Chain A
Amino acid sequence: DQQVKQNSPSLSVQEGRISILNCDYTNSMFDYFLWYKKYPAEGPTFLISISSIKDKNEDGRFTVFLNKSAKHLSLHIVPSQPGDSAVYFCAASGGKLIFGQGTELSVKP
């Protein structure tokens, strides 16, 4: 049973526009959420995180929103750049990290 789901395997966005990546979870005990970015032939790198006591965290072009009642989080990238093209994983922590399947973002010039 997948506790963390990213239902969109891929997303294509024009450079300069907003990218919105979504993630749903089922376990209300998760207390911390993270987004990782992964380029080909590299390991995942930490991007941004949010505690369950907050509903928004912003870092430059990246903002993560958390809706606990809907068990949903999203990552907004504004403006999107070609270098943002990568696979993005959301992860939820309840002691151990549980990862979603990933969404491949393609930002076209």
Chain B
Amino acid sequence: DADVTQTPRNRITKTGKRIMLECSQTKGHDRMYWYRQDPGLGLRLIYYSFDVKDINKGEISDGYSVSRQAQAKFSLSLESAIPNQTALYFCATKASGLETQYFGPGTRLLVL
């Protein structure tokens, strides 16, 4: 079984709709991250969390919100989706004290 899972894997939605992307991990890591990937731009950090009660903005947090429901779960919400939020979204986890992040398989989101 995958250590980091993301649901859904693919999603098509309309402008103005609220959408939630979910991430779960079984690695026991305390730190979790949300990134988006756009062609030619690499991966950019949206939000990150060091623990259940800790939420931090990343490089491109506008238009997004997150919730850390438990150590193993970190969800990303688009309150009112817009077309330029069309992208690949990745969740990642990391153990504190170590540098390597482990990524989920990604969610491909299309906003029409």
Contacts and interface: CB of A to CB of B under 8 A. Distances in A.
Main secondary structure of the interface of B (DSSP, over half): strand
Interface stretch (B11-19, B36-44, B62-70, B75-83): B36-44
Interface in B50-103: 58, 90, 92, 99-103
Contacts of B35: 99
B106 to A, nearest CB: 5
B48 A100 contact: no
Contacts of A46: 100-102
Contact of B42 (A34, A43, A45, A100): A100
Interface in A42-56: 42-46, 49
Contact of B101 (A6, A41, A97, A100): A97
How many chain B residues sit at the interface, stated as a range, is 20 to 34
A34 B103 contact: no
Interface residues of A, number: 21
Contact of A44 (B40, B41, B45, B103): B103
Interface of B: 4, 35, 40-45, 48, 58, 90, 92, 99-106
Interface of A: 4, 6, 9, 32, 34, 36, 41-46, 49, 89, 93, 96-97, 99-102
**Smallest CB-CB A-B distances: 4 pairs:** A43-B103, A99-B42, A99-B43, A101-B42
